[in-house]
Chain A
Amino acid sequence: MIHSHPDKARAFVADDERAHWHDKALWFVRVKRDRGAATVPEWEALRTAAEGIKAHTLSRLGAYLEEFEAKAAANGIQVHWARDGEEHNRIVHGILERHRVSLLVKSKSMLTEELHLNPYLEARGIEVVDTDLGERIVQLAGEPPSHIVMPAIHRKKEEIGELFHEKLGTPKGLSDPTVLTGKARVHLREKFLSAQAGLTGVNFAIAETGGFVVVTNEGNADMGTTLPRVHVASMGIEKVIPRLADLGVFLRLLARSATGQPVSSYTTHFHAPLPGGELHVVIVDSGRSQMLSEAHRRKALSCIRCGACLNTCPVYRRSGGYSYSYLIPGPIGSVLGPHRDLAGHASLPFASSLCGSCTDVCPVKVDLHHQLLVLRQEAGEEKLIPLGKRLGMKAAAFAMARPGLFRAGGRFARWVLRAAPGLARFGPAAVWLRGRELPEAPRESFADLYDRETAGKPEERS
């Protein structure tokens, strides 16, 4: 099992044309986000408010969850609590079994990906259909999502045409997105009409009103919750916000950050079951309370899953979602994965240029690149980075603390590069030369040049 980001990225970057296509597709979304943000004069003030509301909520999360639970119960919603994935999956299966559900239609939920709900239910004889178009595509392909908002962003339309031909029996050779979407609409409508239950995630749960909000562009969450009489919603403990009015802040940020849209097509507020139906909310911890208890990790729980940090990340765009060992790729996943299990995801904090663009676009101001840096330090302290790299860092620290040695080393390195440039392609530096050209080594260092130019001119030395 390959875990390290560079190893997992190898196949993706080997296909130069596709890597560039992926990079451009994601950058296009980033540009749309910029245009969307620019239409709101108070954008930065909204980010600050969203950050503050999340920090406030996390500082009294238990109280808000209890308020949500009490109000939701008064609204006729059945609230369940689950410590981990196993408990969550058992609760969901129990509800479905009681209603003799054989087909469940799901809208997008990264939480249920995290908890491996689909295989759990499938092993117990329940057909689970992901109904977001992108999610249905990756489900039919037997893949996980490669992006949290656009799950099939890595797939080309011709491949999707081929997949639909194989799995849905559509004519061979289709590649027009409108035609393919039309085929998926017919296929999924039949599923919506025959399912006995629908499952959704939760974008925001409101403590004050005891209800929750789900946003989609396709309307799949709405088809899946207005036709079947049973609706199960899975939410992480961090999804609660204090007041209905807070939605005004978050919804102005969410879609603009995700796709540049001023708002998603459907923003549905659930505050009671369908007449004669049942509405269940399963509140899941699964490691989140642990993250909350560590002050330097806490802020990662503010994430509203817009995907803006993925779209802007130069490493994500050029390496694709499947290069990451955690199920959420990109900067936020490289923070969340190692926060949960540093040893299991030790390469992820290094899958970043630390340029800070992720932090700049984050609508709730998660300090992503700072957290990545902290995680690098933790990985170093716990000896989770390769020995060669650790020794190299030690050697560099030793030399940098001794200017004479540092300058001598520089002279030697410049001589080697001039005398035998091919030599650098062997040994520990070789990895840097994959896909890179060596610069021509100058005869003298900046320090030499500086000393020469300012010799005898003490007034210029400062």
Chain B
Amino acid sequence: MTARETILAALRASGAEPVPAPPHPVPVKQGDPVARFLESVTAVGGQSYRVPDLAALAAGVAKLPAWSSPRRVSLVAGIPGGTVDLEAVDDPHELADLDVAAIPGELGVAENGAVWLKGESLGPHRAVFVIPEHLVLVVNAADIVNDMQEAYGRITLPRPGYGVFVSGPSKTADIEQSLVIGAHGARSCAVFVVG
């Protein structure tokens, strides 16, 4: 028998009585999701900004100290000023010295400041959300949901087979429980809510 057959046979023979799948609890809504989202982003170590429209978004991003560094990627239609064209990059290793990337988010989650980035928003290289020194994420106010359960109600199968929730910058507390921002991924994460 192959390993697959052996394992599946053992599982069939395990004699576990059928247990029905339980319903999921209905989360209690806690206040204005946009306001809560902005607070959560700060709480997880990011910077949060609310801007009324795309013009204000572009102005806000231009003012970020991180955006003044030379190697910039913009995947957001409303943010001009990118200096690196991902389509012209063959190998993600060439992004090792990327300073900052601006990426559009599909939705934001009020309870934890997470922003859902779907695979096709990352352009040709998945690494773009984790390799730069700084990250700029953009999400529409209308796309803020209360919690993760609501988020998965709106997420369909990630295509092309990839998606990530990013909640604030990269961090670690592995040395004596001291929180350090910027372990392997972005050292800062600015999140703009538009509208």
Contact flags B137-180 to A (C-beta < 8 A → 1, else 0): 00000000001111111010111111111111111111111101
A328 sits at the interface (CB 8 A): no
Pairwise interchain contact B162-A133, C-beta atoms closer than 8 A: no
B44 sits at the interface (CB 8 A): yes
| Residues in B neighbouring A298, C-beta threshold 8 A | 16
Q: How far is the CB of B109 from chain A (nearest CB, A)?
A: 8
Please measure, in the bound complex, the distance between the C-alpha atom of A159 and the C-alpha atom of B183, giving whole angstroms.
19
Q: How far is the CB of B42 from chain A (nearest CB, A)?
A: 12
With A49-B22, A265-B44 as contacts: A62 and B12 at CB distance below 8 Å: yes
B2, B11, B30, B171: the one within 8 Å of A237 (CB): B11
Please measure, in the bound complex, the distance between the C-alpha atom of A263 and the C-alpha atom of B44, giving whole angstroms.
9
Please measure, in the bound complex, the distance between the C-alpha atom of A81 and the C-alpha atom of B25, giving whole angstroms.
34
A270 sits at the interface (CB 8 A): yes
| Residues in A neighbouring B112, C-beta threshold 8 A | 261-263
Pairwise interchain contact A87-B7, C-beta atoms closer than 8 A: no
Q: How far is the CB of A193 from chain B (nearest CB, A)?
A: 6
Pairwise interchain contact A292-B16, C-beta atoms closer than 8 A: yes
Please measure, in the bound complex, the distance between the C-alpha atom of A42 and the C-alpha atom of B23, giving whole angstroms.
13
| Residues in B neighbouring A211, C-beta threshold 8 A | 157-158, 161
B21 sits at the interface (CB 8 A): yes
B130, B150, B159, B182: the one within 8 Å of A223 (CB): B130
Stretch of A4-12, A243-251, A366-374, A401-409 with 4 or more beta carbons under 8 angstroms from chain B: A243-251
A185, A242, A295: the one within 8 Å of B183 (CB): A185
Q: Which residue of B lies closest to A50 (CB)?
A: B22
A272 sits at the interface (CB 8 A): yes
Pairwise interchain contact B184-A247, C-beta atoms closer than 8 A: no
With A153-B177, A222-B129 as contacts: A244 and B157 at CB distance below 8 Å: yes
Pairwise interchain contact B28-A42, C-beta atoms closer than 8 A: yes
| Residue among B24, B96, B151, B153 with most chain A CB within 10 A | B24
Please measure, in the bound complex, the distance between the C-alpha atom of A329 and the C-alpha atom of B117, giving whole angstroms.
36
A249, A269, A272: the one within 8 Å of B24 (CB): A249
Pairwise interchain contact B21-A242, C-beta atoms closer than 8 A: yes
Size range of the interface on A? Answer: 35 or more
A52, A217, A270: the one within 8 Å of B171 (CB): A217
Pairwise interchain contact A152-B164, C-beta atoms closer than 8 A: no
Please measure, in the bound complex, the distance between the C-alpha atom of A55 and the C-alpha atom of B21, giving whole angstroms.
8
A180 sits at the interface (CB 8 A): yes
Please measure, in the bound complex, the distance between the C-alpha atom of A244 and the C-alpha atom of B152, giving whole angstroms.
7
A23 sits at the interface (CB 8 A): no
Pairwise interchain contact A293-B15, C-beta atoms closer than 8 A: yes
Q: How far is the CB of A139 from chain B (nearest CB, A)?
A: 12
Pairwise interchain contact A220-B184, C-beta atoms closer than 8 A: yes
| Residues in A neighbouring B176, C-beta threshold 8 A | 25, 156-157, 177
| Residues in A neighbouring B171, C-beta threshold 8 A | 217-218, 265
Pairwise interchain contact A271-B43, C-beta atoms closer than 8 A: no
Please measure, in the bound complex, the distance between the C-alpha atom of A274 and the C-alpha atom of B22, giving whole angstroms.
35
Pairwise interchain contact A177-B161, C-beta atoms closer than 8 A: no
Please measure, in the bound complex, the distance between the C-alpha atom of A55 and the C-alpha atom of B16, giving whole angstroms.
9
Pairwise interchain contact B25-A49, C-beta atoms closer than 8 A: yes
Q: How far is the CB of B132 from chain A (nearest CB, A)?
A: 11
Please measure, in the bound complex, the distance between the C-alpha atom of A248 and the C-alpha atom of B149, giving whole angstroms.
4
B71 sits at the interface (CB 8 A): no
B113 sits at the interface (CB 8 A): yes
Pairwise interchain contact B7-A283, C-beta atoms closer than 8 A: yes
A28, A75, A226: the one within 8 Å of B125 (CB): A226
Please measure, in the bound complex, the distance between the C-alpha atom of A46 and the C-alpha atom of B25, giving whole angstroms.
6
B55 sits at the interface (CB 8 A): no
Residues facing B in A119-177 (CB within 8 A) are 131-134, 137, 150-153, 155-157, 160, 177
Q: How far is the CB of B108 from chain A (nearest CB, A)?
A: 12
Pairwise interchain contact B158-A53, C-beta atoms closer than 8 A: no
Pairwise interchain contact A56-B19, C-beta atoms closer than 8 A: yes
How many B residues have CB within 8 A of the partner chain? Answer: 80
With A52-B22, A153-B177, A251-B148 as contacts: A83 and B14 at CB distance below 8 Å: no
Please measure, in the bound complex, the distance between the C-alpha atom of A298 and the C-alpha atom of B11, giving whole angstroms.
12
Pairwise interchain contact A265-B3, C-beta atoms closer than 8 A: no
A445 sits at the interface (CB 8 A): no
Please measure, in the bound complex, the distance between the C-alpha atom of A132 and the C-alpha atom of B40, giving whole angstroms.
25
Pairwise interchain contact A217-B172, C-beta atoms closer than 8 A: yes
Contact flags A46-72 to B (C-beta < 8 A → 1, else 0): 101100110110111110011000000
A13 sits at the interface (CB 8 A): no
Contact flags B57-99 to A (C-beta < 8 A → 1, else 0): 0000000000000000000000000000000000011001000
Pairwise interchain contact B153-A65, C-beta atoms closer than 8 A: no
| Residues in A neighbouring B182, C-beta threshold 8 A | 181-182, 185
A416 sits at the interface (CB 8 A): no
Q: How far is the CB of A128 from chain B (nearest CB, A)?
A: 17
Q: Which residue of A lies closest to B127 (CB)?
A: A226
A354 sits at the interface (CB 8 A): no
Q: Which residue of B lies closest to A132 (CB)?
A: B174
Pairwise interchain contact B130-A219, C-beta atoms closer than 8 A: yes
Pairwise interchain contact B7-A42, C-beta atoms closer than 8 A: no
Q: Which residue of B lies closest to A25 (CB)?
A: B177
B7, B13, B18, B170: the one within 8 Å of A60 (CB): B18
Q: Which residue of B lies closest to A277 (CB)?
A: B126
| Residues in B neighbouring A252, C-beta threshold 8 A | 111, 147-149
Please measure, in the bound complex, the distance between the C-alpha atom of A185 and the C-alpha atom of B169, giving whole angstroms.
14
| Residues in B neighbouring A226, C-beta threshold 8 A | 92, 125-127, 130-131
Q: A263-B109, A266-B167, A290-B10 are in contact. List 20 more A-B contacts (CB 8 A).
A: A42-B25, A53-B21, A56-B19, A61-B11, A81-B7, A150-B174, A152-B175, A153-B177, A182-B182, A211-B161, A219-B130, A227-B127, A242-B21, A262-B43, A262-B44, A263-B112, A263-B114, A271-B158, A271-B163, A293-B15
| Contacts A/B (CB < 8 Å), 20 sampled | A45-B25, A52-B19, A60-B16, A81-B4, A87-B3, A177-B178, A178-B178, A193-B93, A211-B157, A218-B172, A219-B183, A223-B184, A226-B130, A247-B148, A247-B152, A259-B173, A261-B112, A262-B44, A263-B112, A268-B164
A-B pairs with the 4 shortest C-beta distances?
A: A272-B161, A219-B185, A52-B22, A262-B112
